[in-house]
Amino acid sequence: MKIHYFSGEVWEEEYVKARLSNEEISFHEGPLAAFPDLADPEAEVLCMFIESKIGEDGMKRFPALKLIATRSTGYDHIDIAAAKARGIAVANVPFYGGNTVAEFTFALLLALSRRVIDADERVRDTGTFSHDNLRGFDLAGKAIGIVGCGHIGVHVIRIANGFGMKVLAFDVTRNDELSRTLNFTYVSLPELLAASDIVSLHVPYNAHTHHLINRENVGYIKRGAYLVNTARGGIVETAALVHALEEGILAGAGLDVLEEEGDTKDEMKFLSQTNPREATMRVLLENHALMRMPNVLITPHNAFNSEEAFQRILETTMKNIETFIAGKPVNLIP
């Protein structure tokens, strides 16, 4: 099969070509959007990462397309309805790093709770070893609310137990045996927001979770709580987040994802559009407000990025393509 591979690191080419030695593969050091003139009537597989958004127009550029293999768990960057309409299968990496993202969640939380970034910058910028105004807070005894108890959320619960935290959880599906085994309590989302000192988000992004945290419910949040989001930016309404921080409802936030982060990353390209979307422009401005807030930590969607997780992602992606070619596909999005 003819394959186009987007956003790969240089070293991946050798690995992928060795695994798919019988296939014709073209590597592109960047997302699909970086190649607006690329079209291939013979390409049957596109392999991409989350920054490669593809809808019906993009699919039309590859009329023989049979499979989109995304190197991610989330697939909101792919128009699934358009793919189904064109008979294109979509495969993802359902499990690659529950512990990886959970560990990063606590990296953000500890950086917030113990003022790690502020302390490091003070020493680097001033050479001062004073700890004035760097007092943090313990995690032990605090209530953490886990929104979404999938593979990542469960790992977060295990780590929270290790810190001696009280764990509350909200999920559309309850597993009472799991809650007994891991010593956490299911509550409604409003109850979780009201009782948690830390709220950590671990749900997939879809129509049901879009703006799950919003202007209507942000007022339920326990005053002085912290929000950590290592899931997807669109789960949180950015205007509501800015409001909660400005009003002191939230004492701080650790964000590995932002709403409209793709356009934030490439603002000049977005602004050069003939009619840039007003709603997106508003979110971009709100993102800049978040970047200026000293009590907000923002990282570049990096929670997945460990050596071990990356190897698991590649291994699963190769398996997805190999099994599809063999006529026995796995990990297809229904």
Sign of the torsion angle spanned by Cα atoms 237, 238, 241, 247: negative
Q: Kindly state the tokens that stand for 203.
A: 């749900």
| Cα dihedral 225/228/231/232 (nearest 10) | 80
Report d(CA 16, CA 45) in Å as an integer. 13
Interatomic CA distance for residues 89 and 331, integer angstroms: 10
Q: Give the pair of three-digit tokens for residue 225.
A: 């709580």
Contact (CB, 8 A) for 189 and 169: no
List all residues 6 or more positions away from 328 whose beta carbon is below 8 Å from its beta carbon.
Answer: none
73: left (phi over 0), alpha (psi -120 to 50) or beta: alpha
Token digits of residue 80: 């699934």
Write out 306-326 in H/E/C secondary structure. Answer: CHHHHHHHHHHHHHHHHHHHC
Residues noted as catalytic: 232, 261
Please, which contacts does 327-330 make with residues 24 or more away whose CB atoms are closer than 8 Å?
A: 329/67, 329/89, 329/91, 330/91
Helix (H), strand (E) at residue 159: helix 151-162
